[in-house]
Structure 1
Amino acid sequence: MTDTPARLLSLLSLLQTPREWPGSELAQRLRVSSRTIRRDIERLRDLGYPVEATLGAEGGYRLVAGAAMPPLLLDDEEAVAIAVGLRAGAGHAIEGVEEASVRALAKLEQVLPSRLRRRVSVLQSATTALTRGDGPSVDPGTLTTMASAVAGPERLRFAYRAGDGARSRRLVEPYRLVSTGSRWYLVAYDLEREDWRTFRVDRVGEAFATGARFVARQLPMDAEEFVRRGLRGGDTTYAVEVTFAADAAALPGWLRESAAGGADGEGDGDGDGGGRTRIRFETADAPEWLVARLALTGVPFTVQAPAALAAAARALGARLAGAGA
């Protein structure tokens, strides 16, 4: 292999496999001399890649963790596997990784060859995932289209179905994607209505970037706060007060965030000692879904408010008791 840049990329790809490579094997793989391999290793080091060498008959080269993340070089099978996994994480709003999944998926699908993109779509359509059941799934393709348009920035067109069933087509300047843990929302400037709007992504269809660039406007508040205010004024919301028989550290992240005034509402939680934590927040989730989500924490809890949530908890308890009997 006489093309030095191509050879360096091939060498870096081999070194990213978690093993130690003897210099003679690398030379054989790349069809060059051992001296050329030593020079190429030095070139990679000069570029900032931490390649470690060990001496002796069993010695060789391996890439170790450094100060920066090097670009990953993936073969076809690895790229497809990662894309399918990221689509699952993005489409089902897995807590803590959903937004990172969307960003990574947008970057990966931007460079995937069409043949691999088709394989990912076929695999995605033929598989399903067991989700928490506390919120609607969204199309990962729609999410990645939106994420790419936000990063562009590029104007976005899509069909939208409102909460009352009314359908419309929108032309927007996308600003941010926000996940609440159970739903995805797009914050965007609606060009026809000349105002900022929040759109539930599970109600979006036929989304595509128009190719028209724009200078991003400045939202007068954080996107998370904008979505939170929209939830209070749009979907029917209610105040929740629940006491858990555990310290706050034992609760899942979405509850701790709510207790600290996080994404699900205006929460203020106070661990009052003795392994008890009181959580207060606002939500638009149906009581039946919310009580199931609370039960899945595995921590005993008591509902103080609202009455509808307490009734949903009693009904769920009765159904489970009957199932056990």
Structure 2
Amino acid sequence: MARPTARVLTLLELLQSGGTRTVAELAGQLGVDERTVRRYVQHLVDLDVPVESVRGRYGGYRLVSGYRMPPLMLSDDEALAVLLGLVAGRRAGLTTSSGAAGETAAAKVRRVLPERLGHRLDAVLATLAFTTPPNTPAAPRSAVLLPLADAVRHHRPVSIRYTTADGRRGERTLHPYGLVSHAGRWYVTGTDPAIGEDRTFRLDRIADARALAGSFVPPAGIDPAERVLAGLATAPYRHEVTLRVQGTAEQIRARLPAGLATLTELPPESGGEEASWFRVELRVERLDWLPAVLASLDGPFVIERPAELRTLVTALADRLTAAARPPRNGGARP
């Protein structure tokens, strides 16, 4: 591609990124003088690309709102980033319930790429392996996700039709504070103004979402992700576990993350150790995996409840002790 033509296309890419670009800014990014920038802009205008000239101190050039120039013009790195993002998004559950959307989007990007680049990207995708299995998430529908996102951004109340885990259906009003993707599922968190309580809902269980009149003011410093994790850690499960663990919050969180357990630092005892103790509370459906996790903490811990967990930890300790004994008569174990 001739160098002036390449610069004209680069100018178009810069303008398509949005906003008004000054002549000096464009000249610096293109590596040309301001007179050449104006000539390149005229080339775009001659091609019926709607470039607007903005006058004034902060003037420059911009594209008419909503204009996009087909086909896609992607560098090798940009095309690889787009296609890998689509693949990773499908595996991580960062897609909508229209499962084919990611595949069709990738196919459209692939069709408009030059043949040389297309073959190289095909080779990457064909030889790429993952160390973790793909998620099979219950992804939200676009008709639910998009209005909720708009309501979060503009602080508007929404009405949602929701089905609970036990199949009960109802309609609620929510002041949504944020959308959160966690472990292959999407959540919306906010406050139910009718009862004045914080609520978190899974988007795949929302059948419909529509904005209501009015607006609300979200609390200052709200962290939607932290709210969702705290809600998951305190959700009702079969077993309620309470521990006391010595160490740092970072060490404990490495084994018992926020979506699983809550931590409360305990006041130091007079004359006690320097290391802090934390009360750890979690709710789980099964206990059989916890002994190994507790052993990996590599620090003192006390099981307050349930007694069944103490039995499982003792059994694990016995198995490890037996496995560590030297073989009888110096022979190898079978």
Q: Taking structure 2 as the reference length, what is the TM-score of the superposition?
A: 0.45
Higher gyration radius (CA): 2
- TM-score norm. by structure 1 comes to 0.46
